[in-house]
Chain A
Amino acid sequence: MQTALRTSLPETELASRASFAPHARVVREERPQQAIGLPLSIRGLRKSFGSNEVLRGVDLHIPAGQFVAIVGKSGCGKSTLLRLIAGLDKIDAGSISFGQDTQPEDIRVMFQEPRLLPWARVLSNVEVGLGRDRASDDAHARAEKALGEVGLADKRDQWPSVLSGGQKQRVALGRALVSRPRVLAFDEPLGALDALTRISMQRLLERVWRDQGFTAILVTHDVAEAVALTDRVLVIDEGRIAHDVVVNAGRPRERGSAELASLEASILSHLLSAEDRT
Chain B
Amino acid sequence: MSLIDSVSLPRSFRLPRVDGLIQWIVPLVVIAIWQVASVTGFVPTRVLPAPSDVLLAGWKLLLSGELVRNIWVSFWRASIGFLIGGSIGFAFGLANGLSQLSAKLTDTTLQMVRNVPHLALIPLVILWFGIDESAKLFLVALGVFFPIYLNTLHGIRTVDPQLIEMGRIYGMSDGELFRRVIFPGALPSIFVGIRFALGIMWLTLIVAETIAASSGLGYMAMQAREFMLIDVVVLSILIYALLGKLADSASRVLERLTLSWHPAFQKR
Residues of A whose CB lies within 8 Å of any CB of B are: 86, 88, 104-105, 108-109, 111, 113, 115, 117-120, 128-129, 131-132, 159-162, 175
Of B2-10, B71-79, B159-167, B190-198, the one contacting chain A is B159-167
How far, in whole Å, are A189 and B185 apart by their CA atoms in the complex? 24
Checking A104, A117, A129 against B163 with a beta-carbon cut-off of 8 angstroms, the contacting residue is A117
How far, in whole Å, are A128 and B176 apart by their CA atoms in the complex? 11
How far, in whole Å, are A100 and B54 apart by their CA atoms in the complex? 83
Contact A117–B162 (Cβ < 8 Å) = no
Contact B165–A113 (Cβ < 8 Å) = no
User: What total of chain B residues lie within 8 Å of the partner, measured CB to CB?
Assistant: 20
Question: Can you spell out 6 A-B residue pairs with CB atoms less than 8 angstroms apart?
Answer: A115-B166, A118-B262, A119-B185, A119-B261, A131-B171, A159-B260
Contact A117–B171 (Cβ < 8 Å) = no
A121 to B: closest C-beta gap in Å: 8
Contact B169–A109 (Cβ < 8 Å) = yes
Contact B184–A117 (Cβ < 8 Å) = yes
How far, in whole Å, are A67 and B165 apart by their CA atoms in the complex? 25
A271 to B: closest C-beta gap in Å: 28
Contact B184–A159 (Cβ < 8 Å) = no
Q: Type the 1/0 row for B122-148, where 1 means its CB is closer than 8 Å to any CB of A.
A: 000000000000000000000000000
Contact A162–B170 (Cβ < 8 Å) = no
Instruction: Say yes or no for B181: interface residue by CB 8 A criterion.
Output: yes
Residue of A nearest to B263 (CB): A161
B 73-120 contacts with A by CB, 8 A: none
How far, in whole Å, are A161 and B261 apart by their CA atoms in the complex? 8
A183 to B: closest C-beta gap in Å: 13
Contact B171–A104 (Cβ < 8 Å) = yes
Known: A119-B184, A161-B266, A162-B266. A88 touches B163 (CB 8 A): no
B 244-268 contacts with A by CB, 8 A: 259-263, 266
Contact A128–B266 (Cβ < 8 Å) = no
Contact A115–B180 (Cβ < 8 Å) = no
For A105, A113, A115, the residue with the greatest tally of chain B CB atoms inside 10 Å of its CB is A115
